[in-house]
């Protein structure tokens, strides 16, 4: 057990309700966060503990559903599956990502522009089902694909291309055919496409960078952002190593959210939470933002739209507008411009049209056959 975990157990946490504990997985996230800094053995032990907590939480949830008492106090049964010496009322909640949705079922939203990046097609971490659902319910005059759409790094290691990833490509091509102006700005994971700057493929135009003018007249420089990442540019071997470690964290994120789904909880990015606990990662993000807005100013623009670091954000940095559209492996986010010129982040963590379960599809196919 690490020193940080011992400190948490010794001093306790701020107060919150037991219901928040179930919803946000605070205990599991705390243990996993401590395990990241521990040895491999400690990681295994922490993951086993987290799995045990989720199993006990599922049992407790079933008991709560069967209980006819509306005001039943859950603090006592909650303490049954917490670590020894840790009081249920002494835990801190984790803030869920803000939602601008759900809208009315089947409603299609129309925007002036949409920015998507870091989809990473060709990897198990790509949330293609959520992206397809987003593309189905959101239309725009312009659609910017801001890099790392297809993950060439991962595909070189081993081929992975399920039908859902092919569906995403077909959906993007279909939007372009139907009149959406689709502009593809490659990133570091799909850098091979940069050699086709200025060319069009299936009505999708490839640009190494672009400038978008909003309805209010602001000029935004659109670029992936890897050219301002010192690790990618000057220590390529370290970038590949970091990508491999990141793949492991994304695998943990997938399994963690499968367990949450079985408990009836919404999607929540464990990998993003762990990444933002690391001080060096926070400092890196701050330096990246500053470098991006400085270059946008030098180019005569009012701000920048980028991706690369998987952290959706809209804020003022040194008098320049900094926008990051996030990603589709962790935050499931997009940047949009309304018809009035307002910029905002949309998080798509709830499916409007959930796919039919495989067992039901097979059963229906058997009946039809």
Total domains present in the chain = 2
- Do 213 and 167 share a domain, yes or no? yes
| Contact criterion met (CB below 8 Å) for 241 and 229 | no
pTM, two decimals, is 0.61
- Do 192 and 82 share a domain, yes or no? no
Q: How far apart are CA 338 and CA 46, in angstroms?
A: 44
pLDDT of 350 reads 87
- Do 169 and 23 share a domain, yes or no? no
Per-residue pLDDT of the chain (369 residues; tens, 9 = 90+): 444 434 443 444 344 333 443 444 444 445 445 444 443 454 445 455 555 655 665 565 566 555 544 444 434 433 433 344 434 444 343 334 444 444 455 689 999 999 999 999 999 999 999 999 999 999 999 999 999 999 998 898 899 999 999 999 999 999 999 999 999 999 999 999 999 999 999 899 999 999 999 999 999 999 999 887 643 343 343 344 445 555 666 666 776 777 777 777 777 665 566 555 544 554 566 788 888 999 999 999 999 999 998 889 999 999 999 999 999 998 899 999 999 999 999 999 888 887 766 556 566 666 666
- Do 75 and 133 share a domain, yes or no? no
- Do 31 and 125 share a domain, yes or no? no
What is the domain extent for residue 316? 109-347
- Do 142 and 18 share a domain, yes or no? no
Q: Measuring CA to CA, how many Å separate 46 from each of 10, 49, 83?
A: 18, 5, 11
- Do 67 and 154 share a domain, yes or no? no
CA neighbours closer than 13 Å in the CB half-sphere of residue 181: 8
| Contact criterion met (CB below 8 Å) for 325 and 307 | yes
Task: Indicate the pairing of strand 109-116 with strand 333-337.
Answer: antiparallel
């Amino acid at each position: 057990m690490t020193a940080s975990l011992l400190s948490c157990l010794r001093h306790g946490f701020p107060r919150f309700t037991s219901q928040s504990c179930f919803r946000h997985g605070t205990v599991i996230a705390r243990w996993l966060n401590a395990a990241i800094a521990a040895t491999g053995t400690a990681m295994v032990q922490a993951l086993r503990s987290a799995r045990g907590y989720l199993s006990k939480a599922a049992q407790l949830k079933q008991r709560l559903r069967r209980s006819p008492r509306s005001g039943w106090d859950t603090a006592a049964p909650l303490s049954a599956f917490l670590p020894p010496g840790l009081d249920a009322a002494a835990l801190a909640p984790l803030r869920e990502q803000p939602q601008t949705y759900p809208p009315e079922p089947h409603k299609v939203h129309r925007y002036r522009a949409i920015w998507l990046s870091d989809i990473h097609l060709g990897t198990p971490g790509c949330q293609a089902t959520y992206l397809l659902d987003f593309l189905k319910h959101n239309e725009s005059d312009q659609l910017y694909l801001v890099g790392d759409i297809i993950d060439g790094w991962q595909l070189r290691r081993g081929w992975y291309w399920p039908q859902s990833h092919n569906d995403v490509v077909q959906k993007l091509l279909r939007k372009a055919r139907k009149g959406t102006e689709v502009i593809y700005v490659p990133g570091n994971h799909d850098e091979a496409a940069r050699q086709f700057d200025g060319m069009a493929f299936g009505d999708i135009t490839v640009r190494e960078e672009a400038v978008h003018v909003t309805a209010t007249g602001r000029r935004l420089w659109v670029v992936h952002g890897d050219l301002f990442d010192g690790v990618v540019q000057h220590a390529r071997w370290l970038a590949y190593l970091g990508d491999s470690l990141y793949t492991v964290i994304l695998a943990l994120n997938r399994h963690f959210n499968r367990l949450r789904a079985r408990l009836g909880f919404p999607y929540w990015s464990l990998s993003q939470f762990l990444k933002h606990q690391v001080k060096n990662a926070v400092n890196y993000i701050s330096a990246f933002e500053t470098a991006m807005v400085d270059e946008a100013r030098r180019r005569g623009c009012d701000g920048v739209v980028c991706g690369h670091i998987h952290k959706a954000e809209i804020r003022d940095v040194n008098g320049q507008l900094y926008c990051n559209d996030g990603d589709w492996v962790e935050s499931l986010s997009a940047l949009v411009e309304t018809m009035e010129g307002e910029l905002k982040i949309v998080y798509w963590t709830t499916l409007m049209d959930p796919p039919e379960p495989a067992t039901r599809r097979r059963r229906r196919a058997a009946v039809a056959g």
